[in-house]
Chains A and B, each alone.
Chain A
Amino acid sequence: MLEWIKQPWPWYVAGPLIGLTVPLLLLLGNRTFGISSSLRHICAACMPANIPFFKYDWKKESWNLFFAVGILIGGFIAFNFLSSSAPLTVNPKLVQEMAGYGITSYDGLIPQELFNWPALLTVKGFILMVLGGFLVGFGTRYAGGCTSGHSIMGLSNLQWPSLVATCCFMAGGFIMANLILPFILKL
């Protein structure tokens, strides 16, 4: 059993389990699945700066922060106790493309060659980690949600604005990954 758990889980196991998070949060306390709001609550709690968008009672939404901390703990548990050390297997075409940028290591889930402390001071690392993070925070709030809030929760509830948002998430990702990222990775 533990050996099976330690293997990477296929999509048809993981996807339905992620889907069950939607009714789980509703049944636990009428909470709508969504994570990017936690970033807003952190702003409201730490530096509202008299901005109307952050003047609300964030404590009423603190469940979202507990959920986010839980995700972090879950990541720790899964990585340290429920994982095998086998390298990631990815599509050979991607391996070939990445080799062109000098990326050859598939140990671990986050590529060490790109995401590390010294790389923060390089143009490439700054774009990937700092600019990328900024766009995630700005874009999700502007869109009113992220993959969880719009793509999973919103689409599960058959909300067409969430379909618009999801299509735009995907379009943005396709544009960046195929048209812009190749130039960034060559830096």
Chain B
Amino acid sequence: MKKIVNTDFEVRSSHAMCVNHSELDHSFVSLLKYAVAGIFFGIILVKAQVIAWFRIQEMFRLQSFHMFGIIGSAIAVGALSLFLIKKFNLKTIDGESIQLEEKHFAKGQVYGGLLFGFGWALTGTCPGPLFAQIGTGASVLLVTVLSAIAGTWTFGLLKSRLPH
């Protein structure tokens, strides 16, 4: 069998969001808690109408404060939480110390950011709400997810030829 060289840490650190991972929880049961967290998050996305195409259109036309209020207050609460975690050196429920990675600048944040912005306004959704939308029964958006996966795959294919 061909040996897979594990270079994911360095690859991930530049492109994916999740570089730190707990060493302790890899069993199915312990992963279920993330599904529960996802359920919590998905319910909020629907109840706050973040998944509504018209809400996103209002946001990009500056016709409603709703989405700006949600993103702004989420950042405020997230920042306060991280401040408290650092200040009191809080640990995970398994007792590990919490690590946060620095993000490094790359041109992709500009080019990719603009392209994602185009897609966000077209579909009225970003990756999280997309999963919630399918949960609400919008089956046609399975095609949008498949297309998003194809987009990610195409990025992986072209990565070395794109400016970074």
Task: Mark A residues whose CB is within 8 Å of B.
Answer: 5, 8-9, 11-40, 42-43, 47, 49, 51-57, 59-64, 66-79, 82-83, 88, 90-91, 93-94, 98, 106, 108-111, 114-117, 119-120, 127-162, 164-178, 180-181, 184
Contacts and interface: CB of A to CB of B under 8 A. Distances in A.
Contact of A53 (B77, B85, B93, B156): B156
A136 B56 CA distance: 14
Contacts, number: 562
A141 B64 contact: no
B54 A159 contact: no
A30 B34 CA distance: 11
A134 B122 CA distance: 11
Contacts of B74: 15-16, 18-19, 152
A172 to B, nearest CB: 2
Contact of B34 (A37, A70, A153): A70
A146 B117 contact: no
A27 B91 CA distance: 7
Contacts of A153: 17, 78
Nearest to A79: B136
A75 B126 contact: no
30 contacts: A5-B47, A16-B77, A22-B77, A23-B85, A29-B34, A36-B152, A40-B15, A42-B149, A52-B7, A52-B159, A70-B34, A71-B45, A78-B45, A94-B61, A110-B133, A115-B141, A131-B147, A136-B144, A139-B114, A139-B115, A143-B109, A144-B112, A148-B128, A150-B109, A152-B75, A161-B103, A164-B110, A171-B113, A173-B121, A176-B118
A45 B92 CA distance: 28
Contact of B58 (A74, A94, A178): A94
Interface string B33-75: 1111111111111111111111111111101111101111111
A136 B102 contact: no
B110 A74 contact: no
Interface of B: 4-8, 11-12, 14-22, 24-26, 30-61, 63-67, 69-79, 81-82, 84-85, 90, 92-94, 96, 98-106, 108-128, 130-141, 143-157, 159, 162
B34 to A, nearest CB: 4
B122 A132 contact: yes
B6 A11 contact: no
B121 A75 contact: no
Given A72-B134, A128-B122, A133-B147, A15 B71 contact: yes
A70 B50 CA distance: 16
Contact of A130 (B56, B121, B143): B143
Nearest to B54: A90
Nearest to B104: A161
Which 5 pairs across A and B sit closest by C-beta, in order of nearness? A172-B117, A70-B38, A74-B42, A75-B135, A142-B112
B70 A141 contact: no
Contact of B75 (A64, A156, A172): A156
Given A14-B50, A74-B41, A168-B109, A32 B114 contact: no
A164 B84 CA distance: 25
Q: Taking each of A53, A129, A133, which has the highest tally of chain B beta carbons within 10 Å of its own beta carbon?
A: A133
